[in-house]
């Protein structure tokens, strides 16, 4: 080719990557097929400079072209347009509250077979160690006031990889549809023709209550249980006192479990007290439930917020309120920590028996590292 055309190609291939999700998904194709023989010959015969021209296999080139067209359609107003072709399933997988031994058999199988795994902040290292070596891992965690990726971006990433024919697993702490945004992801993907399978996990309420030997229901203490979230959507500016039907939540014959309620606990407790729930109602707050770092603070409802603040509990903390908490037989911290540590050690030992990482997995991980180093991926 002429020097001018060579320069145009070089300029095109040296353009910085866009931060759009579509381009991000291009950045680390998983186990892409090797270059066809002719391309390998050309590449090996070219100078070192030609390696920067970005050769692609036919499959990679086709995938890139589909994404370019998707971006063009969005720019023209077709925001819902996406890649064409049949999509593989996306698995929304709950991994329980933290104890690796609470994983389901189905969750473990899917984790070991996945091509791409998106995981949250609450997934423990021991659980992640059970993922197969061929998988590329992408952190999409959230915490109050700090979202690594907007939820809309996570939706599109799941969509794009499913249409690329990859086995996509979305790991979520607890159960994916109990305050885990699994329902939002399900709606988004199914509206775009992507099959979704939900794999339930042990929700934090069940797992943590079991670890404390506290039944959520009991014929003598509680005939119902209610799960509520203490964390409102970012656009909800209503004060805590106006968010709930306090007369319903203050029923003394039920067990009330509050997820993500650490920051609003003083206002939440006050709302229950103002609605008539007795200040002496037993309550307990649990940080890092079912793990080696579990911490437990038990106090009557009227003094729970103060006790939690004095203990400096941190997120994630689950709160259980109700007469069933009077049955709490709190094991020693050492006993709980020893049990959780033993489970974690067993999980790591089991993970060590997995096959060695494949070359494709190593390449995917290396590319992820390079993207992170360049600030294109967090």
Q: Which tokens is 307 given? A: 């006790």
Catalytic residue among 115, 166, 175, 260: 260
Residue 254 falls in which region: left (phi positive, over 0), alpha (psi -120 to 50) or beta: beta
Query: CB-based contacts of 165: which residues, under 8 Å, 6+ apart?
Result: 88
Strand partners, 96: 174
Work out the number of other CB atoms within 10 angstroms of the CB of residue 76. Answer: 9
Catalytic residue among 99, 115, 120, 288: 120
> Strand, helix or coil at 142?
strand
Q: How far apart are CA 339 and CA 62, in angstroms?
A: 51
Element at 299 (helix H, strand E): strand 295-300
Contact assessment for residue 205 and residue 318, using Cβ atoms and an 8 Å cutoff: yes
Strand partners, 321: 256, 283
Give yes or no: 120 in active site.
Answer: yes
Catalytic residue among 106, 113, 137, 142: 142
Residues in the chain: 378
Give yes or no: 106 in active site.
Answer: no
Q: How far apart are CA 99 and CA 101, in angstroms?
A: 5
Q: How far apart are CA 61 and CA 58, in angstroms?
A: 5
Give yes or no: 166 in active site.
Answer: no
Q: Which tokens is 155 given? A: 């939706």
Q: How far apart are CA 303 and CA 286, in angstroms?
A: 15
| Strand 146-147, strand 142-143: pairing | antiparallel
> Strand, helix or coil at 137?
strand
Element at 340 (helix H, strand E): helix 333-351
DSSP notation for 224-260 = EEEEEES---TT----GGGTS-HHHHT-TTEEEEEES
Return the active site residues.
120, 142, 260
């Amino acid at each position: 080719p002429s020097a001018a055309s060579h320069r145009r190609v070089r300029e095109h291939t040296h353009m910085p990557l866009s931060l759009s999700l579509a381009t991000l998904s291009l950045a680390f194709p998983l186990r892409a097929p090797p270059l066809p023989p002719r391309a390998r010959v050309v590449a090996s015969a070219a100078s070192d400079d030609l390696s920067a021209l970005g050769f692609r296999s036919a499959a990679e080139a086709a995938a890139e072209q589909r994404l370019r067209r998707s971006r063009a359609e969005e720019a023209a107003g077709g925001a819902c347009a996406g890649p064409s072709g049949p999509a593989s399933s996306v698995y929304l997988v709950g991994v329980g509250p933290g104890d690796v031994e609470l994983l389901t058999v189905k969750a473990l199988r899917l984790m070991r077979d996945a091509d791409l795994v998106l995981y949250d902040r609450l997934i423990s290292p021991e659980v992640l160690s059970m993922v197969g070596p061929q998988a590329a891992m992408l952190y999409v965690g959230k915490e109050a006031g700090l979202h690594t990726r907007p939820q809309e971006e996570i939706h599109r990433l799941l969509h794009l990889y499913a249409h690329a024919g990859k086995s996509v697993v979305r790991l979520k702490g607890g159960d994916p549809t109990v305050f885990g945004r699994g329902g939002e992801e399900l709606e988004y993907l199914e509206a775009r023709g992507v099959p979704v399978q939900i794999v339930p996990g042990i929700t934090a309420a069940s797992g943590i209550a079991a670890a404390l030997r506290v039944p959520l229901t009991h014929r003598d203490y509680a005939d119902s249980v209610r799960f509520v979230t203490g964390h409102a959507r970012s656009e909800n500016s209503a004060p805590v006192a106006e968010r709930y039907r306090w007369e319903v939540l203050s029923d003394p014959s039920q067990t009330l479990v509050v997820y993500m309620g650490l920051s609003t606990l003083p206002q939440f407790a006050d709302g229950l007290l103002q609605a008539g729930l007795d200040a002496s109602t037993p309550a307990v707050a649990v940080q890092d439930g079912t793990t080696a770092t579990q911490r437990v603070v038990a106090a009557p409802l009227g003094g729970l917020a103060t006790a939690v603040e004095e203990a400096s509990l941190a997120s994630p903390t689950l709160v259980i309120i109700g007469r069933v908490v009077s049955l709490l037989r709190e094991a020693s911290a050492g006993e709980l920590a020893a049990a959780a540590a033993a489970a974690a050690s067993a999980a790591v030992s089991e993970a060590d028996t997995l096959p060695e990482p494949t070359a494709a997995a190593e390449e995917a991980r290396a590319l992820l590292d390079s993207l992170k180093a360049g600030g294109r991926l967090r």
